[in-house]
Amino acid sequence: MPAFAEPEITIVSPELGEGLQSNDNKGHYPELAHEVLDRTGKAYSYSVLPLKRVLSELTTGQADCVFGMDKRFLRKFGIDTQNLVESDPVLVSRQHIFTPPGAKLLTDLKSLRNKSVAILNGSNLEKTLKRQGVNFVLVNSQEAKLKMLQLHRVDAIMGWMPDMYLTADYFGIEKPDYDPQAVLTTTDVKLICRDDDTGRALVSATNEVIWRFRADSTFQRINEQWSGALF
């Protein structure tokens, strides 16, 4: 009897902006994802969607997996992660406060009082900033945040590394300053799947590829291609 092909695994990932991950499936993150997933031997589809839709498709079962975050990040949006499994990290993102070049560095949320700050719409910090009484502006893209800071329309922006510098390079915008030691939070870039046979098999295969890529410098090659010595 002919062997039946495994069903295609549906993977979704949040749109992050040009140079990072755009809805045409281009950027640093999709290159990392495809480099890993193509070597798992599993059939899959990979779609880049707005964050709210990514979360919706994961919770409603329309998607089998999500790439680009970890379970801890999902819990910040009130998502129950007990029935999810996650891979080892492909990359670690760190959240910082960014200021115009040459301006005084701002290192924690208390330092943002009486300051104007731009954050992405749907940011995990929106509720926290409200509680702190910070005056913030919601924008729809990384590029918009950087341009507002460049034009001094805000005192600071919230963002992630390496994302902010990748976006700045892509659009030719001067890189803002930040304190590398002042990390607000971290998020591991992982593959998260449902805790079923299909999900566990893909996560296991993904981990094998990740370990191999760490050993043979594949990740270093991809990262340096996008941002030189940033990583």
- At the fourth CATH level, the homologous superfamily of domain 93-171 is Periplasmic binding protein-like II (3.40.190.10)
Can you give the pLDDT at residue 228? 42
Question: Is 207 within 8 Å of 88 (Cβ atoms)?
Answer: yes
pLDDT one-digit tens code per residue, 48-97: 998 889 999 999 999 999 999 999 989 988 899 999 999 999 888 889 99
Q: Where are the domains of the chain?
A: 9-92+188-230, 93-171
Q: How is domain 9-92+188-230 classified at the CATH fold level?
A: D-Maltodextrin-Binding Protein; domain 2 (3.40.190)
pLDDT given for residue 225 in this prediction: 59
Most confident of 19-23, 171-175, 217-221: 171-175
Q: Which two tokens stand for residue 15?
A: 């749109």
Mean of the per-residue pLDDT values for the chain? Answer: 88
Please report which confidence band the pLDDT of residue 220 belongs to, taking 50, 70 and 90 as the band edges: low
Domain 9-92+188-230 shares a fold with domain 93-171: yes
CA-based max dimension of the chain: 71
| Nearest alpha carbon to residue 119 among 89, 93, 145, 85 | 145
pTM above 0.85, yes or no: no
